[in-house]
Amino acid sequence: MPRSAELSTETLGAGVTKRSDLLADGRELFYYDDPGTSLGPERSVDARALDPRPESATMRQDVLSGDWITFATKRQNRVMLPSADADPLAPQTPSNPSEIPSRYDVAVFENRSPSFGPALAEATGGAPAASDAPRGLGDLAHLGLGRTRTSIGRCEVVCFSPDHSGSFGTQSVTRARTVIEAWADRTAALSALPGIEQVFPFENRGEAIGVTLPHPHGQIYAYPYVTPRTQRLLESIDRTAPDLFARVLAFEQASERVVLSGEHWTAFVPFAARWPLEVQLMPHRHVPDIAALSDAERDELAPLYLRLLRGVDALYQPERSAPAAEGSLEVPALAAGPTPYIAAWHQAPVHVGRDTVRLRLELTSPRRAADKLKFLAGSESAMHAWTAEILPETAAERLRAAVESVPAP
């Protein structure tokens, strides 16, 4: 193994220690050590011989919608469902030259095949400047044929554990708290980069969602624009009231759609849920992003979020369905596996809406039964006109029972 180096350290909340390093091609790597970790202060040096980083992708504007589409062609060569001995997110071994040189608790590093970056709006640190970076939100909002910009920004991978399989929900409360601290730290750091307009932590879980690595991990995207979903949210706030989120939370808390609640957080199935399994987790006070959460809010989030995720996995376990008919779109194998989902942490944009857009988790799953998935057909995919098959009140009742059936973390 390569020689070891003692890294610069920083103490974060909850007793988490952050250690900063560089990978062989210059990408940043951060270790977040659990409080009371068994790991020492030194980490192995990444001694791989790596190709230079790819150039930043290019965005093209769809003039009919105003949306910016990124063309990241280098992502075609990503690893697909590797075995444990070839896991690129596991600690390096002599036979597995993975992305992380040392044993770790939680690790965050720049994606080797990013959708955005490594170029930024202007040179900063080791990041190159883009030749055709967006010229602010006004520039991006302008409509025109054939408009292109460099896809500046940053994409990072967040490894929740060195284990080959699992998810956020399989972690301990201590480890979950460490990940929350890492999310907060990276949200603050990425928000400070030039040209960044929104930061988005998320976890994709399950092959049905399109996951290519079974390793327990999530990602963080730092966008050079305000995403279309958030733009529409800002429009809704403008059409209603600045305290829209407070009103939504009070409306949901008074309903039968509450799934789980604590002193600082409430989880609920939203009034107009699109997906067969959809739940939001919202803080009781207004905070724009994870970095703005208090220690008390972060402390409660760790066990509460774990319990919610474990309830999501327990939701379909009692069900047993007959095998699907030949040629159908039903997927019997789902009954034996964990629930696929996207866990999306919606945060306020970096420069607009900070006083009105509230942090919230939105967890969605296409699973509509133990052995069935919801597929988006013509109306949903082409027209964004949704039809839901399960009433939110019914979905909340089922999920609430599932959450109550799992032991507290």
Cα separation, 265 vs 248, whole angstroms = 14
> Can you give the pLDDT at residue 298?
98
Q: How confident is the model at residue 333 (pLDDT cuts 50, 70, 90)?
A: very low
Block residue for tokens 């009433």: 391
Spatial contact of 375 and 328, defined as CB atoms under 8 Å apart:
no
pLDDT in tens, 260-316: 999 999 999 999 999 999 999 999 999 999 999 999 999 999 999 999 999 999 998
> Can you give the pLDDT at residue 2?
52
Q: How confident is the model at residue 210 (pLDDT cuts 50, 70, 90)?
A: confident
pLDDT in tens, 122-175: 877 778 888 899 999 999 999 999 999 999 999 999 999 999 999 999 999 999
Domain extent listing, the chain: 4-225, 230-405
Spatial contact of 140 and 131, defined as CB atoms under 8 Å apart:
no
> Can you give the pLDDT at residue 3?
60
Task: Specify the higher pLDDT residue, 323 or 197.
Answer: 197
> Can you give the pLDDT at residue 280?
98
Return the SS3 of 369.
strand
Beta strand 217-223 with 154-159 is: antiparallel
pLDDT in tens, 98-110: 999 999 999 999 9
- 4-225 matches 230-405 in fold: yes
Q: What are 82's two structure tokens?
A: 């590797």
Cα separation, 66 vs 72, whole angstroms = 19
- DSSP codes, 172-227: -HHHHHHHHHHHHHHHHHHHTSTT--EEEEEEEESGGGT-S--SSEEEEEEESS--
What CATH class does 230-405 carry?
Answer: alpha beta
C-alpha 94 chain-centroid distance: 31
Asked if pLDDT for residue 321 goes beyond 50, the answer is no
Task: For the beta carbon of residue 400, count every other beta carbon within 10 angstroms.
Answer: 19
Q: How confident is the model at residue 212 (pLDDT cuts 50, 70, 90)?
A: confident
Pick the CATH number of 4-225 from 3.30.428.10, 3.40.1280.10, 1.20.210.10, 3.10.180.10: 3.30.428.10
Among 215, 217, 286, 346, the active-site one is 217
Cα separation, 186 vs 291, whole angstroms = 8
80-89, 167-176, 318-327, 357-366 — which is least confidently predicted? Answer: 318-327
> Can you give the pLDDT at residue 42?
93
Closest CA to 211 of 145, 166, 269: 166
Q: What are 149's two structure tokens?
A: 């910009």
Over range 342-370, report the average pLDDT: 96
Over range 362-378, report the average pLDDT: 91
Task: For the beta carbon of residue 45, count every other beta carbon within 10 angstroms.
Answer: 17
Closest CA to 22 of 45, 6, 56, 54: 45
Asked if pLDDT for residue 326 goes beyond 50, the answer is no
Asked if pLDDT for residue 22 goes beyond 80, the answer is yes
Cα separation, 108 vs 66, whole angstroms = 32
Asked if pLDDT for residue 330 goes beyond 90, the answer is no
69-83, 154-168, 323-337, 362-376 — which is least confidently predicted? Answer: 323-337
Over range 233-246, report the average pLDDT: 98
Average pLDDT of the chain to the nearest whole number: 92
pLDDT in tens, 67-96: 999 999 877 666 777 889 999 999 999 999
Tell me the chain's radius of gyration from C-alpha atoms.
Answer: 21
> Can you give the pLDDT at residue 73?
87
Return the SS3 of 145.
coil
Q: Note if 286 is an active site residue.
A: no
Q: How confident is the model at residue 329 (pLDDT cuts 50, 70, 90)?
A: very low
Return the SS3 of 43.
strand
> Can you give the pLDDT at residue 331?
43
Longest CA pairwise span in the chain (Å): 60
Task: Specify the higher pLDDT residue, 268 or 375.
Answer: 268
Share of the chain above pLDDT 90, in %: 83
Cβ neighbours of residue 82 closer than 8 Å, sequence gap 6 or more:
88, 213
Q: How confident is the model at residue 317 (pLDDT cuts 50, 70, 90)?
A: confident
> Can you give the pLDDT at residue 318?
57
Taking the CA atoms of residue 244, residue 245, residue 246 and residue 247 in that order, the dihedral angle to the nearest 10 degrees is 50
